[in-house]
Amino acid sequence: MPELTLLEAIRQGLDEAMAADARVFVFGEDVGRRGGVFRVTEGLLDKYGPLRVIDSPLAESVIVGACIGAAMNDARPIAEIQFADFIYPAFNQIISEAARIRYRSNDDWHVPLVIRAPYGGGIHGALYHSQSIEALFCHVPGLKVVAPATPYDAKALLKASLADPDPVLFLEHKKCYRLIKGQVPDGDYQVEIGKADIKRQGSDLTVLTYGLMLHYSLEAAEVLAGEDIDVEVVDLRTLRPLDTATILASVRKTSKLLIVHEDNLTGGLGGELAAIVAQEAFEQLDAPIMRVCGPDVPAMPYAKPLEEAFLPSPATIADAMRVLAAY
Amino acid sequence: MPELTLLEAIRQGLDEAMAADARVFVFGEDVGRRGGVFRVTEGLLDKYGPLRVIDSPLAESVIVGACIGAAMNDARPIAEIQFADFIYPAFNQIISEAARIRYRSNDDWHVPLVIRAPYGGGIHGALYHSQSIEALFCHVPGLKVVAPATPYDAKALLKASLADPDPVLFLEHKKCYRLIKGQVPDGDYQVEIGKADIKRQGSDLTVLTYGLMLHYSLEAAEVLAGEDIDVEVVDLRTLRPLDTATILASVRKTSKLLIVHEDNLTGGLGGELAAIVAQEAFEQLDAPIMRVCGPDVPAMPYAKPLEEAFLPSPATIADAMRVLAAY
Amino acid sequence: MTITVQARVQNAASHDVDQAMMLEMYRYMLLARALDERMWLLNRSGKAPFVISCQGHEAAQVGAAMALQQGKDFTLPYYRGLATVLVMGMTPREIMLAVLARAEDPSSGGRQMPAHYGHRKLKIVTQSSVVGTQIPHAVGVALAERLRGGDALAWTSFGEGTTSQGDFHEGVNLAAVMKLGVIFQCENNDYAISVPMSVQMAVASVADRAAAYGLPGVKVDGTDVLACYRATRDAAERGRAGDGPTLIEARCLRLTPHSSDDNDRTYRPSEELKAMREGDPVARFRLLLREQGLLDEAAHEQLRLRIAAQVDDATAYAEAAPMAGAGTLLDHVYG
Amino acid sequence: MTITVQARVQNAASHDVDQAMMLEMYRYMLLARALDERMWLLNRSGKAPFVISCQGHEAAQVGAAMALQQGKDFTLPYYRGLATVLVMGMTPREIMLAVLARAEDPSSGGRQMPAHYGHRKLKIVTQSSVVGTQIPHAVGVALAERLRGGDALAWTSFGEGTTSQGDFHEGVNLAAVMKLGVIFQCENNDYAISVPMSVQMAVASVADRAAAYGLPGVKVDGTDVLACYRATRDAAERGRAGDGPTLIEARCLRLTPHSSDDNDRTYRPSEELKAMREGDPVARFRLLLREQGLLDEAAHEQLRLRIAAQVDDATAYAEAAPMAGAGTLLDHVYG
Ligand SMILES: Cc1ncc(C[n+]2csc(CCOP(=O)(O)OP(=O)(O)O)c2C)c(N)n1
Ligand SMILES: Cc1ncc(C[n+]2csc(CCOP(=O)(O)OP(=O)(O)O)c2C)c(N)n1
Ligand SMILES: [Mg+2]
Ligand SMILES: [Mg+2]
């Protein structure tokens, strides 16, 4: 199996999907000649031509809105939002339209649409090229939200998203793009939407996380292993719908829960995770539920010391693990 | 003290605020001649003239965007979004701009802006005139979110919102507009942003709620009183920033927590409330944290049986109270 | 480029619209009017909590829809589109099922407010209440059509107030840039609820805006069904030939308050309301048909009775149909 | 109404721009260019992770800003607005503090990427990276000005790609409807990152779009500083007199890649890049000044040295200034 970066795995997934289904097309800013500002769609224009790899005007609402229309006319659009931070002009189309069309039409019309959006920080992107946007979308019935952290998961979940009959927001962590490498099989293989993955088995406490923070949490767990603390690290992979079965089984086993995400603390996905566990696994909980999250400031600032202060690190995660383990 | 409806209390607040400060103006669809589709701004055009009560074009992004600019040029704008369901086209201006301007300018520029939005269901409004939108905004640092449930609180919190140096989303429950009446003093009096209010003292369990669900929860609590179960009902009033002191004190006292909101369950404000309590008051909790919320469907449908099935009722809330009390 | 379509047909025997088609147009207009009036009765009697009308827009809609291919072209009408969807194939029963929020309502199973039309088999695309969102959808429908090499058109309608929305701009612009087969029909009735057109734009005509996007802008008298038909037919030819989109502005009349929740006497001078009645597109077309000897009093009375029976049947059918049931609340959030 | 402003001044002694002002314009253009070039050096040497240029836009910006009243009028420039903010009063030191993300950076205290200018005392309004959002803000600034009875203007700039955004449409439209004192300057450099203007619109000129909104649209050669000055001066007169907004399209050149993260050789033919250099607005104005005997070689060298010293000073000052400190991360979310 070849080793690919997260970015290459996504590109390979796009390529295979476009080769397999002529209804799949890519629509977004700079996705054509430029191959995307991160080069994810590099090579696709040459291979699939300008009818299927389309540079859009600089207008996110119509990028998503037109893709919704195309999906209703039996195409399989992939909308690219250049940076997740710029998805808000399309918020109305995503929330009011894509996510509600199946329900409001009583199952008559469907929107099989994938929206790709590079998110997250740690790349000197400052307040508007670093944001985590997932919580705002995980609240929305009718929408699925996927955030793979490894090349293997990314390629398979991209395919699963494209095969899904409903709109999927596909989040790609920018810092993972080139940092994270891993084995990726050629061709098709399965990772289901809605299934978490235990990336590290452990018995002393459970960490629920995703994206870049998965890798930081695994690093921290390694450190804790040296201190005889055995941490289970669950990679959520899909943020909506949540895999509550896997989540609850893990917490029931370890009795302690740490939630780690880069997104702002208040109102983040950690809240929902805590609520599920505090309702469903209350009897098995042996300690307060802890969260290590981005602080409640708009996003991470540009200056390096500020950016670093924003991001949870393996060290801050390890500290929280220690507190919880000692409880 | 005269008795006013929630709607009248808000109108009185607007009137007094406009009389007191010539910088205050109202901007939105149909707010002028028509006095708003709910008649909240009725009479203001005649009193304050077309420079201060302005019918906007049908364009939410520029309604909010222009008000942001006006606020930065020392006016005190009140933007009206005709129905909260239509706030999403303005999401980008609210999230990317209003909420981030103080932080991104390092305290140089400020946005003292109030955005009024009628929200909530139970009025045959169907999928797009019934939505609860608060969770999507409570996640946003830099924004305040207020949702008064009584005429008394509404008028005072409107004034407090106008006096606030930062953007405030002011949510008005449509079903409460004319249903809920109460005593409202003339002139100024104080209710602070960020302070919850215990609307009913009790010792057996705590309910955290707001908006229409406050009234339903109080009704349910009355029923439970007849069963010798003593319920404390906390009206959050401000949804961001949360009054964690009051919340935690109440839960520490009763040891049991029920969260009630009309907004969809998953990713709703209830998650954050549960997470705070599961972290900070874990030792005092005697039962799982329960939530009674709107189900995870886009919003409430039009057909009466469906609308009723969506909305939590005093009866369903009472049932949950009984389960929790018996735990 | 702004084109003004001849507002008045002088000659019913003009070769492009034959007599049968003219009568068919009138039938649809009268049916839409009769259904619409019945809805208001149901509203007043407490059976329909919400009604929103197409009264005054019938000519614009019937003219346009008759120029499309039923079952092939996509329509994305807005909430005033009753006459549009009738021409595209929805039945009076289907309309009344939505008015009364019945389970069988094909648009939404009683989930949406009435007048939020949708019908996949008829290629009537589901709509929300959020104005303007359908405009980008129409563009996307046409984009997918190009991808597969088909020549179905996407036709969408909206009010003049809605042209203030960013989605109007972004959608029309994209269609023009990509030269897609879309017809944008703005039904300009001078008001957005209470707000007059002068607050929406500082120009005299929506069609004039087309020049800013590089597509033809067509002004048409929206109370003249034949003029509307011709404008759309020409736009459809352009679209199907790959010559790109067209923006049509049909000047209509809003003969009712905005909706059953509105009271337009608070913002509309009563003389205006009275004067408007004179322009009623249904009465106007009836006069033309009579003048041209196509529909005498007796024939008209027969048609009226036939339609009344249809409306009665539709109402009775819908009233007898079961409400959408509470047990279906959670269905179809995901597929 | 589209107005094309005379692209070329024939006579330096033309009564409306005196020699001192011309020299001042040139000084600002040269200063902007020198600062901009220094930023790229800092980027290449690893000291500035991100740079985005105003090279090729200097004439459009200096011409426009010289026609505004510093300290009174509001400017809402976009990220290419280096020359704008210099004229409005920002100092080279303040610029460099942002480039190096220092605590003292007046725009954001090192929180934003460089080139996100803001300075309340100078009425330079804070900007985000989300393109087009400043356009509604400018309209709102002017709305508040009307409310208080003042006559300060709101001037805002953006690229041609940004005109595809809904916020452009909604903002320009509102300003036209309310006849507010706003100047919209579109700096059209033919590209939005890699995407050519033909993908953004099916018309030849952004200024032509003004007709769709009912405000004057002015086309001006954005490499001719005097023409830009005149266009803005006229627009400012209209705005201050209460005659409403103006849309100015200045055709500029993007002499650099989009930003330091871009590589434009992948999408721009090298001949285009070469040809473009010929139109360099700074060189062009220098030639004019020399032709007209306003700036000989010796004077030019003196000016160049003075500016180089300023740039050196600014760089040294910023390098010595403390970084924004981690302890300030949580400051100022709320007031
Ligand atoms: C985004 C949005 N904002 C506000 C509304 C509330 N609203 C419903 S219809 C309407 C007026 C529409 O006017 P116009 O587009 O002219 O259509 P008309 O009803 O006159 O045919 C408004 C403001 C809405 N439905 N959607
Ligand atoms: C809403 C939004 N979408 C995408 C981007 C990413 N982006 C930054 S600049 C740019 C191109 C802007 O082009 P134009 O408006 O022509 O200005 P120019 O850079 O050419 O001066 C893009 C796509 C953004 N900043 N904001
Ligand atoms: Mg209208
Ligand atoms: Mg450009």
- The ligand 2 site (C-beta within 6 Å) comprises A 29, 58, 60, 82, 86, 89; D 80, 129-131, 158-162, 187, 189, 191-193, 254, 258
- The ligand 1 site (C-beta within 6 Å) comprises B 29, 58, 60, 82, 86, 89; C 80, 129-131, 158-162, 187, 189, 191-193, 254, 258
Kindly tell me the burial class for residue B28, based on how many C-beta atoms sit within 10 Å of its own C-beta (0-12, 13-18, 19 or more): buried
**CA-nearest residue, atom 6 of ligand 2:** A82
D136, B68 in Cβ contact below 8 A? yes
Tell me what pLDDT residue C7 has: 44
A12, A62 in Cβ contact below 8 A? no
- Identify which of D120, D128, D170 has the shortest CB distance to residue B108: D120
Q: Which two tokens stand for residue A283?
A: 């009897």
Note whether D101 contacts A304, CB cutoff 8 Å.
Answer: yes
pTM over 0.90: yes
**CA-nearest residue, atom 26 of ligand 2:** D130
Tell me what pLDDT residue D242 has: 97
Q: Which residues contact C240 (CB under 8 A, 6 or more apart)?
A: C151, C153, C181
**Cα distance between residue C62 and residue D126, in whole Å:** 51
* HSE of D186, CA atoms in CB hemisphere, 13 A: 31
- CATH for C2-7+17-321 is 3.40.50.970
Tell me what pLDDT residue D9 has: 44
Secondary-structure class of domain A197-325 per CATH = alpha beta
Whether pLDDT at C218 is above 70? yes
Question: In the annotation, is A173 catalytic?
Answer: no
- Between C and D, how many CB-CB pairs are < 8 A? 72
**Average pLDDT of span A137-165:** 98
Complex ipTM more than 0.90, yes or no = yes
The tens digit of pLDDT for each residue in B103-117 reads 999 999 999 999 999
Q: What is the number of the ligand 1 atom nearest to the C-alpha of B30? A: 23
Tell me what pLDDT residue C11 has: 42
Tell me what pLDDT residue A1 has: 81
D1, D216 in Cβ contact below 8 A? yes
Residue D175, helix vs strand vs coil: helix
Asked if C167 reaches chain D (Cβ–Cβ under 8 Å), the answer is yes
**Average pLDDT of span C36-50:** 97
For residue C167, give the nearest of B61, D215, B87 by alpha carbon: B61
**Average pLDDT of span C275-281:** 93
Average pLDDT, chain C: 95
- The CA angle D157-D162-D166, to the nearest 5 degrees, is 110
**Cα distance between residue D50 and residue D52, in whole Å:** 7
Mutate to test the interface with C, among B42, B58, B88, B296 (most CBs of C within 10 A): B58
Tell me what pLDDT residue D135 has: 99
Q: Residues of chain C with pLDDT > 90: what percent?
A: 92
Tell me what pLDDT residue A273 has: 98
CA-to-CA dists, residue D186 to A61, C59, D154, D161, D247, angstroms:
21, 41, 14, 9, 7
The tens digit of pLDDT for each residue in A240-259 reads 999 999 999 999 999 999 99
Whether pLDDT at A82 is above 80? yes
Tell me what pLDDT residue D2 has: 58
Asked if B39 reaches chain C (Cβ–Cβ under 8 Å), the answer is no
Radius of gyration of chain B (CA): 19
- Is cis: bond before B298, omega within 30 of 0? no
Band of residue A150 on the pLDDT scale cut at 50, 70, 90: very high
Asked if B270 reaches chain A (Cβ–Cβ under 8 Å), the answer is yes
Q: How many CB atoms lie within 10 A of CB B19?
A: 11
**Cα distance between residue C162 and residue C79, in whole Å:** 12
> Which residues hold their Cβ within 5 A of ligand 4, which is an ion?
D 159-161, 189, 191-192
Which ligand sits closest to the CA of B85? 1
| Chain D residues within 8 angstroms (CB to CB) of chain B | 74, 105-109, 111-112, 116, 118-120, 125-126, 128, 130, 133, 135-148, 154, 166-167, 170-171, 173-174, 177, 331-335
**Average pLDDT of span A34-41:** 98
Instruction: Tell me how long chain A is.
Output: 327
For residue D120, give the nearest of B75, A127, B102 by alpha carbon: B102
Phi then psi dihedrals of residue D247, to 5 deg: -105, 120
| Sites in chain D below the pLDDT cut of 50 | 7-13
The tens digit of pLDDT for each residue in B223-268 reads 999 999 999 999 999 999 999 999 999 999 999 999 999 999 999 9
Tell me what pLDDT residue C15 has: 61
Per CB-CB distance under 8 Å, the chain C contacts of B296 are 330, 333
- The CA angle A34-A36-A38, to the nearest 5 degrees, is 120
**CA B7 from centre of chain:** 13
**CA D119 from centre of chain:** 15
Band of residue C10 on the pLDDT scale cut at 50, 70, 90: very low
For residue C88, give the nearest of C28, C27, C158 by alpha carbon: C28
Q: Which of B110, B129, B139, B173 is catalytic?
A: B129
D166, D136 in Cβ contact below 8 A? no
Note whether A291 contacts B278, CB cutoff 8 Å.
Answer: no
Q: Residues of chain C with pLDDT > 70: what percent?
A: 96
Note whether A62 contacts C174, CB cutoff 8 Å.
Answer: yes
Q: Residues of chain A with pLDDT > 70: what percent?
A: 100
Question: If you ran DSSP here, which 8-state letter would residue C100 be given?
Answer: T
The tens digit of pLDDT for each residue in C76-107 reads 999 999 999 999 999 999 999 999 999 999 99
**Average pLDDT of span C108-121:** 98
| Sites in chain B below the pLDDT cut of 70 | none
C-alpha C80 to ligand 3 mean position (Å): 10
- What are the structural domain ranges in chain A? 3-183, 197-325
Tell me what pLDDT residue D63 has: 98
Tell me what pLDDT residue C16 has: 83
Phi then psi dihedrals of residue B205, to 5 deg: -160, 155
Q: Which two tokens stand for residue A299?
A: 């996003």
Per CB-CB distance under 8 Å, the chain D contacts of B102 are 332-335
Per CB-CB distance under 8 Å, the chain B contacts of D136 are 61-62, 64-66, 68-69, 93
The answer regarding whether domain A3-183 maps to CATH 3.40.50.970 reads yes
Tell me what pLDDT residue D16 has: 83
Residue D263, helix vs strand vs coil: coil
The tens digit of pLDDT for each residue in A185-195 reads 999 999 999 99
Question: If you ran DSSP here, which 8-state letter would residue B26 be given?
Answer: E
Tell me what pLDDT residue D10 has: 41
How far off is chain C from D169, nearest CA to CA, in Å? Answer: 6
Band of residue C9 on the pLDDT scale cut at 50, 70, 90: very low
- What are the structural domain ranges in chain D? 2-7+17-321
Q: Which of A124, A129, A215, A261 is catalytic?
A: A129
